[in-house]
Amino acid sequence: MTGIAKGPEELALMEAAKRVLPAGGFGNFPADIIIRSGKGGHVQDVSGNDYIDYLLGSGPMFIGHDHPAVTEAVLRQIPLGTTFFANNEPGIRLAEAIVEAVPCAEQVRFLTSGTEADFYAMRLARAYRGRPKIVKFEGGYHGMSDWALMSLAPRRLANFPEAVPDSPGIPDAVRSEVLVAPFNDIEAAVRLIEAHQDEIGGVIMEPLQRLIPPKPGFLQAVRDVTARLGIPLIFDEVVTGFRFAYGGAQELYGVTPDICTMGKIVGGGFALSAIGGKAEIMALFDKAVGEERFLTQVGTLSGNPVAAVAGLATLGVLREPGTYDKVFAMGRSLMDGLAMLIAEAGIPAQCLGEPVLFDVVYAAGDLRDYRAVLRQDTAMQKHVNTVLRARGILKGDSKFYLSTAHTAEDVAQTLDAFRSAMQTLPAGRKVA
């Protein structure tokens, strides 16, 4: 196994981080790597090691690091001003582009993070309907707010629709306002929504839940029951927006919600997120609706022009003919290669997700929901990820993010590293 050498500068920075940061890091990726630079589909650490980057900053760098269109747009904007706490042309132009692209978005409100967008989307739905409860799906991730951190990764499996807090510090009262349903179970989801229809302010879901694709008819069934009962449906497209298609997962899967949240790609690598939705619902952000219905929302950096020009430049690249065909083809070639190596190794594992966002899950059978994915062999997952890191492949614990900058050579190197991981599996892990 090839090792990644750490130089004295990086080691010194790691020690400094331990002194000034809890656990020595930012709370995101493991703290044993310090990135200095990125270019295209690669990043380099402080010690000069090069990695193929499937982390992509947790997704926003969909067109690669330091893309000339984005860099040039940002450098043109910075001398003109970086934030104004007021309307600016780049922000307005970006809102126009989002409305043109995203099926459910008739109007847009900007924020700074995906957590903010999901938090305000849930509040918007509750305010619009005048009901207190939110329905979410077990295992679904919607940021770091109290409402979102219910049954994301519960330590104990409760009976539906009971919510299980994922963090200390969340008031017990919040728990009673969240109802939890199993993903990909049409009958259970419809039954829960119908049974609690008079209490529900909104339903929030990831169209692709982490890595789990929706079963045929599932998204449409949730759309149908919420539309029939007048309950706002929120698609959390912070990850999938502008990644699965130019119009997001709602375009790819052909199901249109009432509200969606966006982040990551839409800010071009800068701090920006957005809520898009029907004008009738978005009107609650306008004081013209009256004091009793007006929903206050402000943010110091919301819609700042630097992030807006980066987002506009990114969307411009994504509109170029063939962009999505190319990145999906690259992702499929990686998924197919991994599937072949899994079959050769004779292990219970499968690729789960879409070609631009997937991972290998070390379990057999139908992985239809959070509880099914819990069957996976986490020790095998950790082993493979460790080997990949040592071979210069940077990815999260449970995701490959593909970018338009990744190449056939990157895929070949990744498959070679994965082959090494299969050849060095711990004793007893192979089944054939």
Q: How is 123-142 classified by DSSP, letter by letter?
A: HHHHHHHT--EEEEETT---
**Which residues are CB-neighbours of 68 under 8 A, at least 6 positions away?**
none
Q: Is residue 172 annotated as a catalytic residue, yes or no?
A: no
The secondary structure of the chain in percent helix, strand, coil, rounded to multiples of 5, reads: 40, 15, 45
- H helices of 60-171, in order, are 68-77, 89-101, 114-129
**Which residues are CB-neighbours of 392 under 8 A, at least 6 positions away?**
2, 4, 49, 50, 51, 52, 413, 417
Tell me the three state secondary structure of residue 233. Answer: strand
- Which listed residue (54, 185, 258, 264) is catalytic? 264
The total number of residues shown for the chain amounts to 432
- Which listed residue (51, 54, 141, 401) is catalytic? 141
* β-pair type (400-401, 357-361): antiparallel
- Which listed residue (45, 53, 118, 236) is catalytic? 236
With beta carbons less than 8 A apart as the criterion, state whether 334 and 407 touch. Answer: no
Q: Is residue 264 annotated as a catalytic residue, yes or no?
A: yes
Q: Is residue 401 annotated as a catalytic residue, yes or no?
A: no
- The HSE-up count of residue 397 (CA atoms within 13 Å, CB side) is 8
Residues serving a catalytic function are 141, 236, 264
